Structures are given as structure tokens and as C-alpha cells.
Chain A
Amino acid sequence: DTGTDTKDEL
């Protein structure tokens, strides 16, 4: 899976 939920990282 890709980027979307990485945005929970700073």
C-alpha cells in the first residue's frame, strides 16, 4: 500500500 497513511508520520 502506498502514501496516504504515511502522512501520520512527521
Chain B
Amino acid sequence: MNIFRLTGDLAHLIAIIILLHKIWKSRSCAGISGKSQVLFALVYTTRYLDLVTSYVSIYNTFMKFVFLATSYATIYLIYVKFKATYDHNHDTFRIEFLILPSLALALLINHYFNFLEVLWTFSIYLESVAILPQLFMVSKTGEAESITSHYLFALGSYRALYILNWIYRYATEGHYDLIAIVAGVVQTVLYCDFFYLYITKVLKGKKLQLPA
């Protein structure tokens, strides 16, 4: 464990808590892409199956349960409890165009061709594009509430911090995982224009307006 990965995990946890709290408090999921949340739940489910086969640390196990529980709780709030506030018209990204290519790529490019490894690889590829429905929705609505942009900033920062973690691990342990690194760079790059808007607008108290 290193400071980059720890702060990355905390940024990830904070993002999830911001979102869950916003939906719960406002009793509304307006402006939130349920499709992205479904993809995240799929990412955690396929990545954390090793919960039953291998034990890394209490921290690792605890965080995996937290990510799984909060992602399904978020989906429950969006599609069941506050489904009347779910914005079907703007959450229209075709997620099958993200799931199927990720699965195909995971079957072609992986470290080992076994069930858990291919699913882990699938979750890595899928996570790198899982935010697209949310970013697409924000671009369609042309704006995002500031709390949603804080959520996106924290979520985008988590994988950016993981990149620093991978650099640190390569420098200190000689350890690297190209699949995780390439996907993590793609994931972070997807947030770049949002980061720019967040820094230049939201932090100045303006609303996040995306060029529609």
C-alpha cells in the first residue's frame, strides 16, 4: 500500500458517498445516469468475485464489500425507490456497446485465460468506459449540478491517483500491470475535459455548463 493508492481509494469512496448522499437527501436521481451505476455494479461484481477465493487484507475485503454494497444501493435508489425522478430521456447511452467490446477484448487480451482472470480483465476494461453514459448525459442536459460535478471530480481523481500508484510501484517494486495501466490511462483521459471545466468553472462557483 502507498499514499497514492490510499488517497485514490479514499477519493473513490468519497465519490460513492457523495452520490449516495445526494440521491438520498434530495430524494431524487435527476441528472444521474442509472446506466453508469449499473456498469459500476457490474465492474465491482466481476472484479470482486475473488472475495470468496483469496484474502488480501482486512482493508481490501472491507473496501470490496463497501463498493459492492454502495453500488447496488445506488442502483436500488435510482431504479426502485426514486424511479419517478429517473431521467429516462437523457440517460440513453447504449451500454451494450461498452459491455460487449470489453468482454471481447478481455477474451483476447488478458494475463491468463481462466474464468476469474478474464472476468477481472473485463472489469478493468469496462471500468475505463463506465462513466461515459454519465458524461454523455451531462453533455445532453448541457449542465450538471455542482454536487454531481464534485462526484465526477472525486471519481476521476481516484484512477488518476492510481496511475501515480502504478508509477510508484514500478519505481519501488518493479511491479506493473499493463492491462490495468492502459485502461486506467484511458479512464482518466476521458475525464480530462470535465476536469478542465471543473477547475475553471465549478471551483469559481459557476455552474458546470458543457457545450451541448
| Residue positions of A touching B, CB distance < 8 A | 1-10
Q: How far is the CB of A2 from chain B (nearest CB, A)?
A: 5
New contact pairs (15) apart from A3-B177, A5-B175, A8-B56, CB-CB < 8 Å: A1-B174, A1-B175, A2-B111, A2-B177, A2-B178, A3-B179, A6-B177, A6-B180, A7-B54, A8-B57, A8-B60, A10-B9, A10-B12, A10-B64, A10-B67
Do B162 and A9 touch across chains, with their CB atoms under 8 A apart?
yes
Grouping DSSP codes into helix (H, G, I), strand (E, B) and loop, the A interface class, with mixed when no group exceeds half, is: helix
Q: How many residues of B contact A (CB 8 A)?
A: 24
Asked if A7 meets B56 with Cβ closer than 8 Å, knowing A1-B175, A2-B177, the reply is yes
Q: Which residues from chain A contact B12 at a C-beta distance below 8 Å?
A: 10
Nearest A-chain residue to B13, judged by Cβ? A10
For B112, give its contact among A1, A3, A8, A10 (CB under 8 Å): A3
| Distance between Cα atoms of A2 and B175 in the complex (Å) | 8
Q: Which of B168-182 contact A (CB under 8 A)?
A: 174-180
Q: CA separation between A1 and B176, bound complex, in Å?
A: 7
**CB neighbors of A among B1-29 (8 A):** 5, 9, 12
Contacts of A5 in B (CB 8 A): 175
